[in-house]
Amino acid sequence: MENPKVLIYDGSFNGFLTTVFKIFEEKIPVVNIQKNKDLQKGLFSEAIMVFTQMDRARRVWNSIQNKSNSAIKSIYFAFLSETKGIELLLYQYIRSMYAHPNENPIEGMSEIILKIQQHSRMVAREKHRIEAIANFEISQDQVYFSNVSPGFDVLPLISKYFRSKFHGQEFMVYDQKRKYAIYYNLYTVEIISLELSVYDCTGDLSHTNIKQLINNKLHSHSRYSRKPEMADMGEKAAV
């Protein structure tokens, strides 16, 4: 019998969906799914590195969404909880959605679904909390800026709300804990990996050019990058 594998991905939701695609396509026996930064091989397991492919991620997203809108929302929200081991639970849940009627059910599936729903609800509550408490200042170049530290990774879920609130205005929400921001430039929402100092976040924004600050950081440090990471899908799930 083939040894069960540990699947390693880049930590993004796209990467997770790509991993699910690979498991189904290659019929890989799975013991765990881990972020590359958290790699801990099992004693009798082999590790497989998965590289994110947007076309595969989108196919998995669309397939699940066609089966159940509520399921894809629960999966996405629960993933953003960043709970240790959530990837394996989500994979088992997705696998159950595509199981053959004659296939033996996954043991403990009712408990798995309950855990996913609980994590999803916690993320939803945090999303609404951040939307309610985020305080914005206006920068010199007329960008609304807010610095937040949410308990869960909710930034991909809040852009739709603030696009409505600041209609026709550019805005940026920075997650100080996770070192990235969402930036709306009146046309698209960008997810920007960016480390801002405490001064950058708390200084007098009336004398700060946010767009220039972003460009300076991006050009000065190669590890900073703009990442259009399924922001459109996040908005669809955030309704």
pLDDT for 229: 47
Which of 3-7, 79-83, 87-91 is predicted least confidently?
Answer: 3-7
Three-state SS for the chain is CCCCEEEEECCCHHHHHHHHHHHHHHCCCEEEEEEHHHCCCCCCCEEEECCCCHHHHHHHHHHHHHHCHHHHHHHHHHHCCCCCCHHHHHHHHHHHHCCCCCCCCCCCHHHHHHHHHHHHHHHHHHHHHHHHHCCCEECCCCEEEEEECCCCCCHHHHHHHHHHHCCCCEEEEEECCCCEEEEECCCCEEEEECCCCHHHHHCCHHHCCHHHHHHHHHHHCCCCEEECCCHHHHHHHCC
pLDDT for 221: 41
161-192 pLDDT per residue, tens: 999 999 899 999 999 999 999 999 999 998 88
Higher pLDDT, 108 or 113: 113
Name the residue ranges covered by the structural domains of the chain: 5-126, 134-237
89-100 pLDDT per residue, tens: 999 999 999 987
Q: Is the pLDDT of residue 225 over 50?
A: no
